[in-house]
C-alpha cells in the first residue's frame, strides 16, 4: 500500500535529520532544559527509538522523534518524545497524549506477561516536548488539564501533564550566540526571515562554525540545505548544494561568500523578471485590488447600517484584510450576526485567517 503519512515540512525534515544525531539531541536538552535530570544523562545513555508511532485519527500523523534515556548511576529508564511544529496546533496536548499512550502500549505488549503482572511493574516516564519555529506566538494549551472542559471543578482528579516548549524564534540572539553549539547555531539561523539577514548571521557565526568538528559542521550544513534550497529557483539549488557539500570548518568565509553570490544572482534574476512582466502584473494587480476594495466597501457599508458608529473600529479592521477569499467568508458570516459582539468575533476570526 502507498505511504499515506503526511509529508514533513521542509524545516521538519531539517530538524529530524539534525536531531537524529544523539549528540545534537543531547545539546538540545542540556542547553535549553533547565532541569536536574538533564545533568544525569550523557550520549551513551541515549538510544533513538527507530519505530513509528502513527495516529490513525489524525490523518496518520506520526511522532517525530523518540529517544529512550537511562539516567547515570541508576536503572531509571524514561523516554523523551519530541514533536516538530512550524504552525500552532491547538490539538497538541491531545496528540501528545495519544503518542504517549501508543508508546506505553508498545512497551506493555513487548513485556512478558509474568513481568507485567508483578506488583512492582511500572511503565516508564515519558517527557513530551514540542519544537516550534513559527512566527506567531504559541497559544495552544501548555498542559493537558486545561484542555479539558470544566477542569476547574475537579481539582486533583483529572489526568494532567505539561510539555517542554522549544520556542525557536523567542530565544534571544545573544543567548543563542553564546551557547556556541550546533543546535543553538541552527536556532540562531532559523530566526532569520530573509536571505540577507541569513548571510549577516552566518558571518557573525563564522568563528563558532570554524571551531566545530567536521561532523558538527556537516550537521549545520545539512540543515541549511534543507531550509535554504526551498527558497531558491531550481537552477540555483544545485549550486548552493555544491557549495555546502564542498566546504569544511576551515573554509567558512568561502562558503558564506559563495552562498551570498548565489543569493545575489537570484535577486538579479528576480529584478529582470519583474521588469519584463511588470506591466501585465500591474494590470492584474490593479484589477484584484479593485475587487478587494469593492468587497471592503460593501462590508463597511453593511456594518454602518447595521451597527452605526459603534462599528467604526471593526471597519478599520476590515480595511486591513486584503484577501478576497477571507473577505467573502466574513461577509457571509456577518449576515447571521445579531449583535455587535458577534460581528466583532467574526471579524477577529477573519483577521486570524488573513494573518495565517
- 3-state DSSP: the chain helix, strand, coil percent, rounded to 5? 60, 10, 30
| Residues 317, 308 contacting (CB under 8 angstroms) | no
pLDDT band for position 93 (cuts 50, 70, 90): very high
pLDDT at 143: 95
Check: CB of residue 180 under 8 Å from CB of residue 197: no
DSSP secondary structure letters along 154-199: STTTS---B-EEEEGGGS-HHHHHHH-SHHHHHHHHHT--SHHHHH
* Count of residues in the chain: 356
Higher pLDDT, 236 or 148: 148
Mean pLDDT of 332-344: 84
pLDDT 10s digits, 278-292? 555 555 666 778 888
24 CB-near residues (< 8 Å, 6+ apart): 18, 182, 183, 219
Tell me how far apart the alpha carbons of residues 340 and 309 are, in angstroms, rounded to a whole number.
11
Task: Kindly state the percentage of the chain with pLDDT values over 90.
Answer: 31
pLDDT at position 25, please? 94
Residue in the block written with cell 476590515: 318
Distances (CA, A) of 57 to 54, 91, 251: 9, 12, 48
Q: Can you tell me which residue has the cell 452605526?
A: 308
Among 238, 270, 244, smallest CA distance to 259 is for 244
Lowest mean pLDDT segment, chosen from 119-123, 136-140, 216-220, 274-278: 274-278
CB atoms within 10 A of CB 80: 22
pLDDT band, residue 149 (cuts 50/70/90): very high
Three cell numbers written together for 195 = 536571505
CA 251 from chain centre, in angstroms, equals 31
Q: Which of 84-98, 104-118, 231-245, 315-329 has the lowest mean pLDDT?
A: 231-245
Beta bridge partners of 173: none
Q: What are the counts of helices (DSSP H) followed by strands (DSSP E) for the chain?
A: 14, 7
In this model, does residue 161 exceed pLDDT 60? Answer: yes
Q: According to the model, what pLDDT value does residue 3 have?
A: 39
Determine what percent of the chain is predicted with pLDDT higher than 70: 81
Across 57-61, 175-179, 257-261, 290-294, least confident range: 57-61
Q: Check pLDDT > 50 for residue 209.
A: yes
State the pLDDT confidence band at 1, using cuts at 50, 70 and 90: very low
**pTM score:** 0.69
Model confidence at 5, in pLDDT bands (50, 70, 90)? very low
Which is more confident, 237 or 46?
46
Cα separation of 220 and 298, whole Å?
51
12-17 mean pLDDT: 82
pLDDT digit string, tens, across residues 40-82 = 888 988 989 887 776 655 545 556 889 999 877 666 778 898 8
> Average of pLDDT values for 79-103?
91
Q: Please give the average per-residue pLDDT across 129-150, as a whole number.
A: 93
Amino acid at each position: 500500500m502507498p505511504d499515506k503519512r503526511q509529508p514533513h515540512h521542509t524545516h521538519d525534515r531539517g530538524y529530524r535529520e539534525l536531531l537524529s544525531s544523539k549528540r545534537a539531541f543531547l545539546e538540545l536538552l542540556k542547553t535549553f532544559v533547565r532541569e536536574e535530570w538533564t545533568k544525569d544523562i550523557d550520549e551513551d545513555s541515549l538510544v533513538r527509538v527507530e519505530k513509528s508511532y502513527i495516529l490513525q485519527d489524525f490523518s496518520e500523523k506520526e511522532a517525530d522523534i523518540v529517544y529512550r534515556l537511562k539516567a547515570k548511576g541508576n536503572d531509571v529508564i524514561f523516554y523523551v518524545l519530541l514533536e516538530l511544529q512550524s504552525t500552532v496546533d491547538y490539538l497538541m496536548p491531545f496528540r501528545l497524549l495519544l503518542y504517549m499512550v501508543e508508546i506505553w502500549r508498545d512497551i506493555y505488549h513487548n513485556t512478558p506477561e509474568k513481568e507485567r503482572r508483578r506488583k512492582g511493574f511500572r511503565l516508564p516516564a515519558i517527557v513530551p516536548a514540542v519544537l516550534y519555529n513559527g512566527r506567531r506566538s504559541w497559544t495552544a494549551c501548555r498542559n493537558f488539564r486545561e484542555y479539558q472542559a470544566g477542569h476547574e471543578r475537579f481539582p486533583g482528579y483529572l489526568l494532567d501533564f505539561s510539555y517542554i516548549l522549544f520556542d525557536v524564534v523567542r530565544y534571544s540572539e545573544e543567548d543563542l550566540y553564546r551557547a556556541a553549539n550546533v543546535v543553538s547555531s541552527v536556532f540562531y539561523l532559523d530566526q532569520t526571515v530573509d536571505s540577507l539577514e541569513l548571510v549577516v548571521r552566518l558571518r557573525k557565526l563564522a568563528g563558532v562554525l570554524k571551531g566545530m568538528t567536521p561532523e558538527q559542521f556537516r550537521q549545520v550544513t545539512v540543515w541549511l540545505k534543507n531550509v535554504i534550497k526551498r527558497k531558491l529557483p531550481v537552477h540555483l539549488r544545485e549550486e548552493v548544494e555544491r557549495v555546502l557539500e564542498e566546504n569544511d570548518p576551515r573554509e567558512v568565509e568561502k562558503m558564506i561568500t559563495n552562498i551570498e553570490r548565489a543569493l545575489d544572482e537570484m535577486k538579479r534574476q528576480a529584478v529582470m523578471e519583474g521588469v519584463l512582466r511588470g506591466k501585465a502584473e500591474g494590470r492584474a494587480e490593479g484589477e484584484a485590488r479593485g475587487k478587494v476594495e469593492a468587497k471592503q466597501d460593501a462590508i463597511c457599508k453593511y456594518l454602518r447600517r447595521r451597527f452605526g458608529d459603534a462599528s467604526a473600529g471593526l471597519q478599520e479592521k476590515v480595511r486591513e484584510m486584503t484577501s478576497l477569499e477571507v473577505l467573502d467568508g466574513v461577509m457571509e458570516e456577518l449576515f447571521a450576526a445579531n449583535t455587535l459582539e458577534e460581528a466583532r468575533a467574526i471579524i477577529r476570526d477573519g483577521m486570524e485567517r488573513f494573518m495565517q
